[in-house]
């Protein structure tokens, strides 16, 4: 066989091998390797070309044509196989990433507001809408603001009744966890006056309070909202009007209210406030112990001594104040029987009573 013929047949078998290898490739990576193997700088075709040098110069153009034909046949086959494989790869990817849109979604387990937080927000919002300004005070209080300034002097029995948690003796006085939100009355009035304010002043002060107590209706930490207003000629009629509006808005129905004489050191006169039982509409039931009335909060006209303790002239100005327990109101509104449920963090209770936003 002449050199030419043997080169030709070498080219033919190379082409046949290559085409078979291309069609057997089942991914783009392998195909790329084959491209290098056959057409690369050190590839099979280059190898064959080396033999061309040995040919007579007159024979070279002819075999050159053959080489070129083989080269383009291989390149064309590579390109079309590559295109096919690319289509297949895309189809496979789409198949692999297929989403079953009919499957139910995975829930994120959305949380909810704790019922007490929700109650606190609701109550504060009602007073904000009436024009009361929101104020806050520290949970670690001194004896002056928690007791003395509120007309509860050192030997007063009310101090003992508050079951106070003392935390630390500061240089001049004991520090404690506030037993009620009433000290915010003092702080808010002082701040207001210090900023050059003059009554009228209307404040709502929500927050945590602490007492050493734990049973069905008491917890060592609970929430109160303190509300007060100071102005000229404030009377108990204003107090009663604000209470009636607030309680009817909160319970989402017209509630009856009754003021019962009581004693608080920081108000004079003082009254406990009852609402007509929201469960039996006043007929008498287990919740209201047959009386038709439920006690909900303490109130009164701010004691002149309290006004004087912050430097407000009690001859010129008067004020009403009341303080309510948030847990108690939420229990009444939602029919929750045991206060401790709020703090035991049982998810069954929290997810049933929690409020989604």
- Binding residues (CB under 6 A) for ligand DAH: these are 180, 182, 226, 264, 267, 298-300, 321-323
Give the residue with the Cβ less far from ligand DAH, 142 or 226. Answer: 226
- Quick check: 164 and 179 in contact, CB under 8 A? yes
Q: What is the DSSP string of 60-85?
A: HHHHHHHHHHHHHHHHHHHHHHHHHH
Give the residue with the Cβ less far from ligand DAH, 77 or 225. Answer: 225
What's the closest the beta carbon of residue 175 comes to ligand DAH, in angstroms? 19
Give the residue with the Cβ less far from ligand DAH, 66 or 211. Answer: 211
Give the residue with the Cβ less far from ligand DAH, 299 or 309. Answer: 299
Give the residue with the Cβ less far from ligand DAH, 124 or 267. Answer: 267
Give the residue with the Cβ less far from ligand DAH, 269 or 282. Answer: 269
What's the closest the beta carbon of residue 114 comes to ligand DAH, in angstroms? 21
Give the residue with the Cβ less far from ligand DAH, 301 or 341. Answer: 301
- ∠ CA 346-348-353, nearest 5°, is 95
Give the residue with the Cβ less far from ligand DAH, 45 or 321. Answer: 321
Q: For residues 191-209, b (16+ Cβ closer than 10 Å) or e, as one string?
A: ebeeeeeebebbbbbbbeb
Chain-centre distance for alpha carbon 347: 16
Q: Which neighbouring-strand residues pair with 298?
A: 272, 323
CA distance 291 to 285: 8
How many angstroms separate the first and last alpha carbons of the chain? Answer: 91
**Torsion-angle region of 259 (φ positive above 0: left; ψ -120 to 50: alpha; else: beta):** beta
- Quick check: 266 and 321 in contact, CB under 8 A? yes
What's the closest the beta carbon of residue 206 comes to ligand DAH, in angstroms? 13
The residue among 166, 210, 229, 199 whose CA lies nearest residue 325 is: 210
The residue among 228, 235, 127, 243 whose CA lies nearest residue 183 is: 228
CA dihedral 287, 289, 290, 295 (to 10 degrees): -80
CA distance 298 to 134: 19
What's the closest the beta carbon of residue 283 comes to ligand DAH, in angstroms? 28
What's the closest the beta carbon of residue 252 comes to ligand DAH, in angstroms? 24
What's the closest the beta carbon of residue 155 comes to ligand DAH, in angstroms? 19
CA distance 318 to 230: 6
210, containing H or E segment: strand 201-210
- ∠ CA 236-240-244, nearest 5°, is 170
What's the closest the beta carbon of residue 131 comes to ligand DAH, in angstroms? 18
3, containing H or E segment: helix 3-24
What's the closest the beta carbon of residue 310 comes to ligand DAH, in angstroms? 15
Give the residue with the Cβ less far from ligand DAH, 81 or 164. Answer: 164
What's the closest the beta carbon of residue 337 comes to ligand DAH, in angstroms? 22
- ∠ CA 296-292-352, nearest 5°, is 60
Give the residue with the Cβ less far from ligand DAH, 207 or 276. Answer: 207
């Amino acid at each position: 066989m002449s050199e030419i013929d043997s080169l030709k047949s070498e080219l033919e078998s190379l082409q046949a091998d290559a085409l078979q290898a291309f069609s057997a490739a089942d991914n783009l990576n392998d195909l790329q390797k084959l491209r290098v193997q056959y057409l690369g700088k050190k590839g099979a075709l280059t190898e064959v070309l080396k033999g061309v040098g040995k040919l007579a110069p007159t024979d070279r153009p002819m075999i050159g044509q053959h080489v070129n034909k083989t080269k383009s046949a291989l390149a064309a086959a590579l390109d079309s196989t590559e295109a096919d494989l690319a289509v297949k790869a895309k189809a496979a990817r789409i198949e692999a990433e297929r989403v079953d849109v009919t499957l139910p979604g995975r829930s994120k387990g959305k949380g909810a507001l704790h019922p007490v937080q929700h109650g606190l927000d609701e109550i504060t919002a009602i007073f904000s809408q009436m024009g009361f300004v929101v104020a806050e005070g520290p949970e670690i209080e001194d004896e002056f603001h928690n007791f003395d300034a509120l007309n509860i002097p050192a030997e007063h029995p009310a101090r003992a009744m508050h079951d106070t948690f003392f935390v630390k003796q500061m240089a001049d006085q004991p520090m404690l966890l506030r037993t009620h939100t009433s000290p915010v009355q003092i702080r808010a009035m002082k701040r207001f006056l210090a900023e050059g304010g003059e009554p009228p002043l209307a404040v709502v002060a929500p927050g945590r309070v602490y007492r050493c107590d734990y049973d069905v209706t008491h917890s060592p930490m609970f929430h109160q909202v303190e509300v007060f207003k100071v102005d000229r000629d404030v009377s108990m009629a204003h107090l009663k009007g604000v209470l009636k509006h607030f309680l009817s808005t909160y319970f989402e129905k017209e509630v009856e209210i009754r003021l019962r004489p009581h004693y608080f050191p920081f108000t004079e006169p003082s009254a406990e406030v009852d609402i007509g039982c929201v469960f039996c509409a006043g007929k008498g039931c287990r919740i209201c112990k047959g009386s038709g009335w439920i006690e909900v909060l303490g109130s009164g006209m701010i004691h002149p001594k309290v006004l004087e303790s912050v430097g407000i002239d009690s001859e010129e100005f008067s004020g009403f104040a009341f303080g309510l327990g948030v847990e108690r109101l939420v229990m009444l509104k939602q029919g929750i029987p045991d206060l401790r449920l709020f703090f035991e963090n049982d998810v069954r209770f929290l997810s049933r009573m929690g409020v989604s936003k």
